[in-house]
Every structure is written in C-alpha cells, then in structure tokens.
A and B are shown apart, each in its own frame.
Chain A
Amino acid sequence: MTIEYKLPDLGEDIETGDVIGVFVSAGDTVAQDQSLIEIETDKAAIEIPAPAGGTIKEVHVKEGDTIKVGQLLVTIEDGRGKGKEPEPKESDNKPADNEDEKIEKLAEEEVKLEINTDPEPNKDIEIKAEDEPLELFPERKEPSPDPREGKQEQITPDKTGPVSSKKAPASPSVRRLARELGVDINLVSGSGPGGRISGDDVKNYTPEKKSKSKGEKKAPKTATMKAAEPRGSVDTDKWGETERTPMSKVRRLTAERLSEAWKAPHVTQFDKADITELEKLRKEFGQEVAKAGGKLTMTSIILKVIASALKVFPQFNASVDMENGEIIYKKYYNIGVAVDTDRGLLVPIIKNANKKNITKLSVEMSKLSEKARNKKISVDELQGGTFTISNLGGLGGTYFSPVLNAPQVAILGISRSVVEPVYIEGDFKPRLMLPLSLSYDHRLIDGADAVRFLRWVIEALEEPFKLPLEG
C-alpha cells in the first residue's frame, strides 16, 4: 500500500518548520522509524521518522523549504498489497490472560482513537489501505494533550516498586516539568552532582541528542554546532516575528574563525594616503595591464606595496605561539585579499606576492576573485596567508576596523578614496585621499611600529619611487 506521509503534529504548538536535512531520496529503501528529514522549528531541531518501512516513491520537500503541519513529506510504498492483513502489533508484554489481552486491545483502540481525534480525520496521515495504529514517536510516550481523553498507558499492576539507581535523579517538580514538556526524564542527562537533573536540564533537552546517543540515525550535518548551543537561550518570538535559517558552511566557518581571532587584543591605526598622483599612473598603465589579462586596481598596487613593507617590518608577517612563548617569523609573503561572494566572505591568497610585479599581481588577483565568485576556488588557494587586505572602497565608507585573520597579526582595511581639500604650501588643494585602517595584534606589535608601518605604506603610495628604493 502507499503511504502519503504528512508532517505530523509535533506538539508544543509547533506549526511550521524549516527543512534542514533530507536524508532520503526517491528509490531509497527505508526502515520504520528511520529518519526521513530533519526540520528545525523555533523550539528544536526534530528528525521525522518513517511511519513504516518501504520504498520512497517521492520526496515532496527539499532542504530550505518551510513546511507546515499536515504538509505532504514523502510517498512511501510499503510493499504490502492492498487489503493484506497488517501485521499484528505485538506489545512487548508477555502473553497474559484474557483480561490483559483485552486491556491491550483496548489500549490499541485508544491509540487509534487518539490519532483520529483531530477535527479533520486523518489529517496527518493517510493510509490508503486498512487502518493500522501508527505510533509516530515510538520511544516518546507522550501523554495525550488532554489527559482525560482516554489515552491508556500501559497497565502494570504495581508502579510503586523499589527505587533503583536507574530512576532518573530528579526532584518531583522537575519530573512533572518534564512530563509537561513531553520530555522523557530518563533520557535527560543531569548537570548536577551525581547526575541530578535540574529544570534547566529538562528545558535544554532536545530530541536529537537522544537520537545521537542511540547512534543509529544519520547524524545531521549540523550536529556539532547544535550540541554546543543549547536551545531556548535566545527566543525573540515574544517581540515579533523571527525566522530561523541554517547557517551556510562559509558563514559558520567565518563565525568560528572570527570568534577565535577576536581573542587577540586588537588595535586599529587609521591614516590617509594622498593617491592623486598614483591614481593618474593607475589610469595611465591600466590599458597595459588589461592587455595582460588583469585589471590594474588600487588593491593590486597596495598588494605590491604591502609585500615590500612586510620585508621591512617582519613582525607584521608573523604569528604568535603563546604556548611556547615564541614569535614565528614567516619567510614567505602570501597576501590574502578579502572577496565578497554570494556564499559570503572568502579570502583567496596571492602566494609569494613579493616576487611578482604589479601586472602579474593584477592578473592573478582578477583570476582568483573570479574563481571565488564562481565557487571554483580550491582549498589550496584559500590557505597559507601571512597578511590580509580588505578593500571595501568599492562600496563606500570612510574607515572600519577589520578583525584579524588569525593566526595572522595584521590586516589592512581600505575604504573609498575621496577628493579633499588639503592644505599644501599655504593653499588648499584638491587631493584624492585614500583612508586606510590597519588592525594589528597588540601582543606582538606596538603602536609605534604600527604607525611606522602604515606611514611607510602611505609614503610608498604617495612616492612610488620609494618602493624600488627601499622595498
């Protein structure tokens, strides 16, 4: 028979969720309870298990979709013929006397009843064959929303047996809280002494931890981050509508790396370069570079200047080993240039920038940024940088304080050049001024050095002859 499996009611007032993982595709064979998709709701990430085993005929949702309760998820062909007797669902209980059987049968009826209590019958599940009680979350024995509505728990003659060490170490009020939240207290790990479970432990418990501990389901791609961030700490729902979307891989890496880099004590030195003359030269030689297949930009000129400056100021081409109390000076000059792409911030590296002339640098820069934007950049082309340049001038702005690209110890930010009146020899003259922001790791670089470095770069830009003279 064919099962049109729809997103079941997930409880806790959850109505929609975003698909963050699809673990099956058409043609796959799935077992009952195997994870089909993972959705992220505003409460938690939830894996939706297969209601029955069979072959996936069609998957109706894809990653990124926002889906509603009742929306069609997958079509499963369970291999059983129409009208075939469904396998009797045996309870784990030992076969007992008639009385017990009666109760069990009754319990099954109640489960059916519960599924059908919705105003629209069979809203969640349509089984195009004989009805068979389906347990959507077999391991999660949730009481019915209205406990009075006849849900039969398994009847055991004595529930007041001895306390064993297996009973969850939680106070009565915490046990009640767990029940209210639909959490099986026995699956929650306690953070208190002796594993005692607090109310917060229950609140922070998310079902995917459970599935992971069982280790049988496909681990969601986003597992690591999720485990590290307990849910429920940020909830802006009470102030207005929010939307949760999964972080892209680039965004996540950026976040992780910048958080790490931020630990270094940052200082940013600001200054301006008069590039009036340089800009003239850039326009003059632009055509030649274009012939070579590159674009002569202010960035590629600054690349050359920085490569030279790093040789003069080696502590800017270094990193810090705090563990061993050592400074690592790099004898190579690989300069990264931040590129804004659809996927987020990428930093392709110009290797051995010191050995390349401006034309070569321009050509390579053009190629690399093109690759980065077209997602063709290789991992190798993103690794091994010793200094980074971030040019936001194309977009505007005066100054900004860039964050280091650790383990590098310095980064140069470039903003938009503007024609300003500059007082020169008794007169205000219109000059094209380029704002520069140099962030550096104060553990290794002192303020005075930073000023010297930036002044050196500025002078090189203002007096191009300085480069062959000193660099």
Chain B
Amino acid sequence: MSNAKNTTQVAIIGAGPGGYPAAFLSADLGLEVTIIDPEDNPGGVCLYRGCIPSKALLHTAKVITEAEHSKNWGVTFSKPKIDLDKLRDWKNGVVEKLVGGLGQLSRQRKVTYLQGRATFLDSNTLEIKKTDGETAELKFEYAVIATGSRPVQIPGFPNDSPHLLDSTSALDLPDIPKTMLVVGGGYIGLELGTVYAALGTEVSVVEMTSGLMPGADRDLVRVLQKSSEHIYESIMLNTKVVDIQETKKALQVTFQGEGVEEKELVFDKVLVSVGRRPNSENLGLENTKVGIDSQGFIKIDGQRRTSDPNIFAIGDVAGEPMLAHKATHEGRVVAQVLAGKNVVFEPNAIPAVVFTDPEIAWCGLTETEAKENKIPVKVARFPWGASGRATTLDRNDGVTKLIIDPETDRVLGMGIVGPGAGELIAQGVLAIEMSALAADIELMIHAHPTLSETVMESAEVYYGLSTHMYKPKRER
C-alpha cells in the first residue's frame, strides 16, 4: 500500500475524451477527483491512438493531394519525398504537445492522477495496479467508468503478424507498404486508407455491404465513393475476406463475394478496421451491480448512471455512437450530476464527421433514419456546383442538404459532403439544437465567398428561392 490517500469522492477510470472532461469539471465544481489511466498523461485513445494522430496524418495527405491537384491550375510540383521518421516524429510531437497540456491542466485542478489500471472490488472500492508495480485500494463515493473501446479483431486472422495492422499500429507508421488492403469501408478504414494512399501505397478496400460508410446517407457517400475511385486501387463491395494467410513478407487474402475479380490476392499489409468493441471486461464489474448488454456496452440511464447507483459510465463503453465529443458531453453531464445538479444527457444533434477526401459530416436526423422511421421530411439539397467558393477551390463535388419538417419548417438534420464539411456541420448542430426553422437560416447573412453559404442556399432551395439555383417555387 502506498501512503497516498486511499479514499476519493470521485474515481474516474480512463482519461480519454470522456474521462478527463468529467474529471476536470468535477474538480471545477468542487469535488475531489482521482483519475486512473495506464498512460502517463490524460488523452486516451483519441489523443494517443485515434482522432488526433490520424488528423495530423490526414493533414499531410491533404497537402500531398492538393499539391498534385494543382497541376490542373498550372502549378506543378515534383513528386514529394517522404521522410517517414520525420513525419512520425511530427505526428508524435502533436500528440505529446496535447497530452502534456492535459497533464498540466489536470495538475492545476489538483486532480489526483494515478497511472495504472483499476478494477472494482465492490460498489465502493477499486483495486489499482499502478504502472510502477504497486497495488492499492481506493474507496470512492462515486465512480465513472470511461474505459472506451478497442479495435475488433477477427478470430482466425493472423492477428499477431506484423503485416496485419489495426488502427493503432497503422498510426504508428511502421513503413510505407507498396500495397495495402483495408478490410472494412467505415470511417476508420477510409481515413487511414486515405493517409497511406497519399503516402504512395496502392490501397484496396473491401467492404461486406453494398457501399462505403454504412449508415451514412447514400447521396453523401456517392460523392465520396466517386472520388475514392481515384484514390484507391480497387473498392470491392459486397465482398468478404474469408481467409488471410501469412507468407514470409506479406499476407495472402482470400475473398468471397460480388466484387471479386481474383479470389486470392497478396498484400504487403492488411489493415483490419471492422469496428470497435467496448472495454467492459476485466473491470471487476461482476463485483458490482453494473449491468452489461449483449454487445458489451454498460447499461446506463439518462444521467449516465449504471444499475449500480454510485457508478456511472460514459463514452464508447456506454454505447453508440462511439464518438469522442459524445463522450466529452457525457462526462460533463456526469460531473454536474455528481455536483448535485439536475441534468441529463439529452442532445438533439450529435455531429458525425468522416475526415476523408472529401469529408462527410452529418448531424440530427439523417434521410436514411427518416425513411426507416417513416418520419415525413422534405430534403433541400444545394450542390456545390453552384457555389462560388467551391469553384475557386476546384472542388465542385460537394453537396449540402437540410432535412426539414414540412409541417413546421424546423430543421431536423443536416448532411454535407465536401472539403471542410467537418467544420461546416457546426452550423447544423446549432440550428437543430436551437430548433431553428429553414427560414431562420435563409434569413441569416452568410459571408461571401464561403462554403457556409451553401447552408443558407439549401434553406433557400427549400422555399424554391435559391439565388444560385433555379427551382420552381413552393408554397410557404
């Protein structure tokens, strides 16, 4: 046992984008907080092995792609030289800078940071195995489980092979392989595929369903799919990987399905990105009353309380959507609950952004969901072909659309595909959360020339009165 205090008001397990905001706000609201995480600084997967390093690399990819693209405008660069070590260092530097900052913020708030892993002994006690080898018990009044998720492994694949990557090892940039297969056409596979393709790898994508980005509205994905055809060697849809065999320097992959030209292909690297699963095991939850559903998510109520009244759960471990910003908001809700405030997690719009090229972003109700749930909506689309700003970027391939309640004209959802979609979506969140009407957006002056004008013009399209797109008028 260490001589440190062995009780705490709030114990937070996991210092990712759910855990650290929960810890910081709890401390700001006057609670005594201990946070337990195996890394030496807060940050979690998002900062160490997810959002942040992937965005650093995607920025690199964007510069490379745009440099190449600029030959259309009379500016030709020679083929880029990639210093992989330097690129890796820069990416790691970005991560270090951010997590170091979080460590400092944590100390300034007097949050006790224990480097190690925690398991529940009962509903009020944690056992902490510290990284330095010590084991300690920690009594808590309230615990917040924020242990996140990890990439799903497919049993039977050579998961220990250095040629088989998951998102974590892919972000480590071990080398730039000549060929790579991305298994799974979701956002993680497509983002990392974009990075490696820009670095010079011939990337192929295999997806089990009929399209990339399952779940996203097809009209948005179609734009991405079209541009992906230039980025990737091949995109095999409705296709399954049935077997992967490790050879000396590569992996031999056996396919089955519609998109198969050759049944067997060899790739230098295979990136498996078929989803993530919640880290709800090995936490000693069996010693508490915390319940878990069939998919491994911890069951929670509106306040993110588990079936054990003293224990809360937030972020990926507590259910879909597995998004950092959702976890952050949950963490802040829980901190306020712990501080005695009567609040619940009740967003009307959680934005989702895919940082591919072009980016896809949406929030609120999607067209797909509206159809599935038979919610009557009107969709107002503004193609970027009519946008001045998009034209100056030589990127007329985008679309902005609003999903609108025809009865009240209220904006229920927004979807965008195009460069910068991830930034533009914030306006959709604001509109939906503030219950804005299409007329409200139509009447707001948007700066010219910007891509944000496409949001305003979508609202104009809804009323059949778009400046830059002629459409027959509809009754107000």
Contacts and interface: CB of A to CB of B under 8 A. Distances in A.
A362 to B, nearest CB: 67
B431 to A, nearest CB: 11
B341 interface: yes
- Please tell me the size bucket of the interface on B: 35 or more
A173 to B, nearest CB: 10
B291 A153 contact: no
B439 A193 contact: yes
A246 interface: no
Contacts of A162: 364-366, 369-370, 373, 375, 413
Interface residues of A, number: 38
A158 B349 contact: no
B347 interface: yes
Interface stretch (A50-58, A82-90, A99-107): A99-107
B410 A155 contact: no
8 contacts: A152-B301, A153-B302, A165-B405, A165-B410, A171-B435, A176-B343, A180-B342, A194-B410
A165 B347 contact: no
Given A146-B340, A172-B433, A159 B408 contact: no
A385 interface: no
B300 interface: yes
A116 B302 CA distance: 23
B interface, over-half SS: loop
A384 interface: no
Given A103-B291, A163-B365, A153 B344 contact: yes
> Which residue, A163, A172, A176, has most C-beta atoms of chain B within 10 A?
A163
A147 B337 contact: yes
Interface in A61-103: 99, 102-103
B309 A152 contact: yes
B175 interface: no
Given A153-B344, A163-B349, A180-B342, A110 B309 contact: yes
B410 A175 contact: no
A244 interface: no
Contacts of A106: 289, 307
Interface stretch (B88-96, B98-106, B319-327): B319-327
Contacts of B310: 150
Interface string B292-303: 110001011111
Contacts of B301: 152-156
> Which residue, A106, A165, A170, A180, has most C-beta atoms of chain B within 10 A?
A165
> Which residue, B291, B340, B348, B376, has most C-beta atoms of chain A within 10 A?
B348
Interface in B366-385: 366, 369-370, 373, 375-377
A196 B319 contact: no
B157 interface: no
A167 B348 contact: yes
Nearest to B433: A172
Contact of B302 (A102, A159, A194): A159
B408 A152 contact: no
Nearest to A113: B309
Contacts of A102: 289, 291, 307
A287 to B, nearest CB: 78
A143 interface: yes
B321 A148 contact: no
A143 B344 CA distance: 10
Nearest to A143: B342
Contacts of B142: 148
